[in-house]
Structure 1
Amino acid sequence: MSADWFDQMPKTHRWLVGVSGGADSMALLNLLVDQGFRELVVCHLNHRLRGAAADDDADFVANAADRLGLSVEMGTADVPSLMQKSGISLETAAREARQDFFANCASRWQCPRVILAHHAEDQAETVLWNLLRGSHGCRGMQRERTMGDLTYFRPLLGVRRAELRDYLRSKGLPWREDASNAEPIAVRNRLRNEAMPLLAEISGRDLVQALGSAAESDAGLREIAAFALHQAEVRDPQGRLHLPKMRTLPVALQKAALVAFLADAGVGDISRRTISCCIELLSPEGPTAVDLANGKRLRRRAGRLLVESQHGQELD
């Protein structure tokens, strides 16, 4: 495993670490300790999805943090209720609950940095899912991404799942297994357990490596697109999209601008259909608003595109 990230980051700073109790996050936590990070806050969220097993996960993480002499922040979220109330998918509801939890932890601990344990297989699944959705191309997760006041770090994106388990075994360290990962209910589970093994067999290639390389190439193209959009100054001082300038761009850059704009506004589930509907707002003869996920709406007003609540209040 590459130690570059661990060597470059300030070890005396406080860091929040997302720990589920599974092998990946337990490996990350212990790697951080091995590398000399001491000001760690172990953050665990119980999603209320797995009954007593989820409670056991929370106890396991709390005990692990105690053994390592680390601070711990435990939270709970009623993800099923959030899903029903908002009409969003289980995965989206869980993601939003985690983001809210980390934001609260960051505020309590005055720490804007969160380290997560996503690895190479997670990256490959993300790329494949984005390809199927049609809105993000070969986009993968970023090693470092700022969302609002928080910056998320993923130092293990180049590390394989097996390497992390080998590391834990070599240290004699335990972890929790989430039986729901094997259930063919969530889309990501089916990609991981059914689609990816089949595609690897058909292609005869290392699919994780291939999709990871595609994500790296895509990231380079997005950097070029971001530079072009910056040069075009498509956002006004308030952060809204400037319609006259947007209309001068090629369609590919228009779509890139919209995806980035919606992502910055915290809109989840940005599908190809969503972007197609949003593109219609660029035309003066098109609709004036498009309903989005998360109870938000994209509206055309006074030569600008802005995100508002579905009650008509503009969102920062």
Structure 2
Amino acid sequence: MLVTAGHHQLILCHLNHGLRGRESGQDAVFIRRLARRYELPCEIAKADVAGMAKAQRISLEMAGRNARYDFLQRMAVKHEAARIYLAHHADDQAETILANLCRGTGIGGLKGMLAETSGGPVLCRPLLGMPRQEIEAYIETHGLDYREDSSNVSPAHRRNRLRHEVLPLLNQVYQREVAPLIVRLGRQAARDDGCLWEQAMEFVSAAGAIESDGSLRAGQELRSLHPAVLSRVLHHWLGYVLGLPGMDAVIMDAVLSMLHPGGPAKINLPENRHLRRKAGRMWVEGA
């Protein structure tokens, strides 16, 4: 599709996760043949995803994702590529949003994946609004060869159960395709979240809320913000300016409670840090 659209300066990139034995090797062979057919350069690498998952104590899915994105970023730097194209489609987006919802996400997670990201090589998902059914129809119409990852049907992966069990059940219960409705929710969430972040950043810039020593002015001007904007100001300060990890919803609720009348003057943060409030200022200490 990219070649047909006039994109000829492409590098095909494939990372072998080493999880499916001979089948994984055949995927790499398929990519090499595809590159020769279109006369495009090709980058293929292999990663011990199972070893990474065990060492980092994360799921195979998360380890594979981290390995893929790291590989793609390295290849983009190597080839001085400004954009990385990924093949996520609308059904992937619906699964992502549903999974985030079940993990307890806020409006930020309801956005799902972004069609484009900023900063460094831009991640582009041109098929994000296209259902898998349309992609399959395109493949059939144009007689394209493709390979199906056999692990996509394994019930061992939670995402596969969303795809093959949960979404079909929801379709049956509501007697309609629910994936497009979930994707629409994602677009609305992205719109509203963007608006709230814009207001938060305007406040940070206009009010000079963050001091040169990294502390935050916690006076009436900050307290009077709508909680939806206030939470983003606090998240920006702690997560982006100070670079603190683990700023999840539970912690952010505790941080917000410090600005309520009679709220605590100190709370614990991850990695043995503490957030303190006194005399109209908030600051982090420890570690």
* Equivalent residue in structure 2 for 1:251, among 222, 227, 236: 227
Judged with a 3 Å threshold, the aligned counterparts in structure 2 of structure 1 residues 287 and 48 are, in CA distance, closer, same or farther, namely: farther
Residue 287 of structure 1 corresponds to which residue in structure 2?
A: 267
TM-score normalized by the length of structure 1:
0.74
Give 1:247 shift. Answer: 5.4
TM alignment of 1:1-316, pairs within 5 A? 31-137=1-107, 138-146=110-118, 148-233=119-204, 236=210, 242=216, 244=218, 249-256=225-232, 262=239, 274-281=248-255, 283=258, 285-291=265-271, 300=275, 303-304=282-283
Give 1:274 shift. Answer: 2.8
Judged with a 3 Å threshold, the aligned counterparts in structure 2 of structure 1 residues 59 and 242 are, in CA distance, closer, same or farther, namely: farther
SS, match of residue 44 in structure 1: strand
- Whole-angstrom CA distance in 2 between matches of 1:112 and 1:143: 15
Q: Is the 8 A contact 1:278 1:298 kept in 2?
A: no
Residue 261 of structure 2 corresponds to which residue in structure 1?
A: none
Judged with a 3 Å threshold, the aligned counterparts in structure 2 of structure 1 residues 151 and 160 are, in CA distance, closer, same or farther, namely: same
* Greater Cα radius of gyration, structure 1 or 2: 2
SS, match of residue 32 in structure 1: coil
Residue 21 of structure 1 corresponds to which residue in structure 2?
A: none
Amino acid at match of 2:269: A
- Whole-angstrom CA distance in 2 between matches of 1:156 and 1:166: 14
- Whole-angstrom CA distance in 2 between matches of 1:192 and 1:263: 34
Judged with a 3 Å threshold, the aligned counterparts in structure 2 of structure 1 residues 232 and 299 are, in CA distance, closer, same or farther, namely: farther
Judged with a 3 Å threshold, the aligned counterparts in structure 2 of structure 1 residues 265 and 204 are, in CA distance, closer, same or farther, namely: farther
Summarize deviations over 1:245-289 as a string: whole Å, max 9, x none: 865544333444566775999999x7xx93212443464634342
Summarize deviations over 1:26-56 as a string: whole Å, max 9, x none: xxxxx01111110001111111221111111
Structure 1 residue ranges, 4+ long, deviating more than 6 angstroms after superposition = 258-261, 263-268
- Whole-angstrom CA distance in 1 between matches of 2:176 and 2:215: 42
TM-score normalized by the length of structure 2:
0.81
Q: Is the 8 A contact 2:251 2:269 kept in 1?
A: no
Q: Is the 8 A contact 1:259 1:275 kept in 2?
A: no
Give 1:98 shift. Answer: 1.4
Consecutive unaligned residues of structure 1, counting only runs of 5 or more, are: 1-30, 292-296
Give 1:189 shift. Answer: 0.5
The root-mean-square deviation of aligned C-alpha atoms, in Å, is: 3.2
SS, match of residue 80 in structure 1: helix
Give 1:134 shift. Answer: 1.6
- Whole-angstrom CA distance in 2 between matches of 1:174 and 1:263: 44
SS, match of residue 74 in structure 1: strand
Q: Which has the higher contact order (CA 8 A, sep 6+)?
A: 1
Give 1:112 shift. Answer: 2.9
- Whole-angstrom CA distance in 1 between matches of 2:242 and 2:33: 37
What is the percent sequence identity of the aligned residues? 33
Amino acid at match of 1:124: A
Give 1:107 shift. Answer: 1.4
Amino acid at match of 1:145: T
Amino acid at match of 1:253: V
Judged with a 3 Å threshold, the aligned counterparts in structure 2 of structure 1 residues 168 and 249 are, in CA distance, closer, same or farther, namely: same
